[in-house]
Every structure is written in structure tokens, then in C-alpha cells.
Amino acid sequence: MPAPYRSVFTDYRGLSEQPLAPWRESNDTVGRIGGWRAYARENQGEPAPSPKAASSEEAALGARPAPSPQAASAPKPAPRTGGHTDHHR
């Protein structure tokens, strides 16, 4: 007796229009749930952390504050010479 046929498209749901939200609200939501790490966990099948857990995780991972304007304008050290790449010039 042959196996019954079941189309792979039986449960298919096409794309539909998603409601738009103001970008600031969307950014705030992403920040509240833990930023890109929450989406990475979701992709791996793990539940997204609560906002409090996300902030403590960033602290544990050594999240650093943005550099001060003075640090950003500080002169950069001169490139090192010698080594493997020096002979490619």
C-alpha cells in the first residue's frame, strides 16, 4: 500500500504586512530585552532574558562604556615596523 501524499505546502503561511513602529520605540525595546544577544539566543532556541538579567550579563561580559570624546580624539600611536608584513611594502 503506498504512503499517503501530504504536500509540503499544507501548513505554509505566506508573509504578511507587519505593523510599523517608531524606530526609537523599536530601539528601546531591543535595548530592554538585551540587544543583539537576545536575538542570538532566540535563534539558538533559548528564551530571551529579562531586561535585568541582560544588563547583569553585559556587566559580567565586561561591557565597556563608550569612550570619552577626549579619548576618541587622542593621537594614535605610530604603526610598528619590522615583523612579517614589513617586507611587503
pLDDT < 50 stretches in the chain: none
* Placement of cell 538585551 in the chain: 34
Full-model pTM? 0.31
User: In this predicted structure, what is the pLDDT of residue 88?
Assistant: 60
User: In this predicted structure, what is the pLDDT of residue 86?
Assistant: 55
DSSP string, 11-76: T-----PPPP--HHHHHHHHHHHTTHHHHHHHHTTPPPPPHHHHHHHHHHTT--PPPPHHHHTSPP
Identify the CA nearest to 53 among candidates 35, 26, 28.
Answer: 35
